[in-house]
A and B are shown apart, each in its own frame.
Chain A
């Protein structure tokens, strides 16, 4: 008798995902974030609960669950309740599409891919479902009967909707290269052409990740919850489990943004340097591990941003999105399309594009450093004498 039918396996995978991801969020990511930030900020971070603070997530969970669940007077009760649910459910749903790895063999004749489902409109569906998460924040801010929350909700409405556009544009340019919306197909194509799409899609990757940070309300784009301005914004009036849901929603969204970045731009579960003989030992690492490592790098970048950058102002954020990222995204689509048209049927166009983009990027980087050095020199020249200690 066969118990592990594909349907059963799918159920198992769904349950695993929904159970594991919140646990990973609570125990690993939050702890890592706090410890890394502690490290960057010359302090320790949580290290009291459990060995090296590893059980901090459990302590936080117990705290949040046992806390009183307050609904403010004259708040819109049902919407106030619905908002955190709306924030977390779409984020968890989107996880179903993330290809964590290729097929693994469970027993002699049972094997299953490491994703719940692979639908042919995968990326589109992902976009659609994650956009719903925005409603959670908007409605939460609106239903709280608090002016600061309302401002936070309004900010997020404008911000998240604006940044969907450059994010979409960035992915469109990649779709021109993949010719498929299926996330699994995108990874397989990168395997076939021996090229991760980050190289020909360098610009698209930057656009995607910056919009992704903006989409998830993280520094330097954490305006909807701007602690020092709006007193936590949309989640001011949330406590206990509802707050935990918002929290979970935000971190799951971060995971999804990172996973999609890895899948679309960094070859998903593929190991790096497949054609270099000397580095063939990299293939011994299981694909799932590669995927997790790559995702971890992006999550680390999130934390790094958070402890480095000040916060943008609302109008500057909108200006950045509409005046810079959307035009650049459009130009990028044209560039990629032309490169593909110039070399039909082959991948040479993409390789050339990768080299050109890489060169331009290095040039821009050097120019930016030069400019920075020049402004610094001017600034130092304007200082009063004797201000600096001799080196």
Chain B
């Protein structure tokens, strides 16, 4: 059933009873808002006439905090933005400062960064897969997804001691080299992954109820995505082949062979397919990076006290959720004058009122899942 069949417009006819819209507070305490998102809904029965996101419940002034501390001290703050994908946050932050300093990152560090990024992409997508499955009532994929996510977190823990707030990168390279045996175990895990991804797909991809709940829900065109600044899987599911790993290659993504999955319909189902495909591509990237890894330096030549020249730079990476960038204004001291983050979750969230309009409350839950927001990053 397509979207068009379903949405029944109410003609303006006089009714016997006094009809009024109901205002419904969706969150901040609600199991499906993935954190403390609050949506103020105007509903007619269950049909959503208007959905207004009210963000800021998790605001911690991260951007201001960057200004008060030295450059390296900013890295742990980035962990707490997109807290299900800390490594990519670290990466974007470090990349910005490295661009400011003009530091070259050694090849081994680049490859390990790629490995960490892709592991993080996998784990972030797994969280998304599990939770959006639960949102639509499919509880089992969650446990399968978290089984693998736990393993990924184990790898992180062994590498840097933390599972979520990793603090796993440093300006100019990495804090630690890999522990012995880490890469062999990772290699085994990567070999296992395609079959595990098949498990999730088995439960959802061809499931008729899953398709009915996602096909034609929250359709958005490629042009509109670009107008609204949406990036990541949302953009790619609408047919735009735009991935910063390919469009503005950083680290050593240039030499790696991977595809950018795209779909054309721009609905919730396509966004699901794109993300699952991205997981498969991440597996490919991981495999190649593991094979290319050679011993070497993990830290570039960085001064002990980081005092970059007074300049302004912007650098961005493809985080699991889209373009994650930092804009840094330096005034020549050891602290940034201004640090601004371009958070993909926040910008993608802007599409939610547009996506939700005219759908039902049940679809809203699917749409919050498909936008894949993390409130830590939205509110910062």
Binding site for B on A (CB under 8 A): 37, 40-43, 147-148, 151, 154, 219-220, 222-223, 226-231, 306-316, 319, 372, 375-376, 379, 383-389
Contact = CB atoms under 8 A, between A and B. Distances in A.
B139 A41 contact: yes
Contacts of B46: 151, 314
Q: Is the interface of B mostly helix, strand, loop or mixed?
A: helix
A179 to B, nearest CB: 38
B277 interface: yes
Contacts of A42: 143-144, 147
A314 B1 CA distance: 14
B209 interface: yes
Contacts of B108: none
30 contacts: A40-B140, A41-B143, A41-B144, A42-B144, A151-B361, A154-B45, A219-B137, A220-B209, A223-B362, A228-B365, A229-B361, A308-B203, A310-B209, A311-B362, A312-B212, A313-B212, A313-B362, A314-B362, A315-B6, A315-B360, A316-B1, A372-B206, A379-B205, A384-B281, A386-B284, A387-B281, A387-B284, A388-B280, A389-B193, A389-B194
Given A316-B1, A383-B277, A311 B259 contact: no
Given A40-B140, A229-B362, A308-B140, 6 more contacts: A147-B22, A154-B45, A219-B137, A313-B362, A316-B212, A383-B261
Contacts of B360: 313-315
B101 interface: no
B58 interface: no
B267 interface: no
A313 B162 CA distance: 40
Interface residues of B, number: 49
**Residue among B139, B144, B193 facing the most chain A CB atoms (10 A cut-off):** B139
B24 interface: yes
**Residue among B147, B204, B209 facing the most chain A CB atoms (10 A cut-off):** B209
A117 to B, nearest CB: 39
Contacts of A40: 140
Contacts of A307: 139-140
Contacts of A230: 361
A309 B209 contact: yes
B279 to A, nearest CB: 9
Interface string B194-216: 11000000011111011011000
B229 interface: no
Nearest to A379: B205
A309 B207 contact: yes
A384 B137 contact: no
A307 B261 CA distance: 30
B362 A387 contact: no
B218 interface: no
B206 A375 contact: yes
Contacts of B22: 147
B170 to A, nearest CB: 33
Contacts of A308: 140, 203
Given A41-B140, A41-B143, A147-B24, A310 B365 contact: no
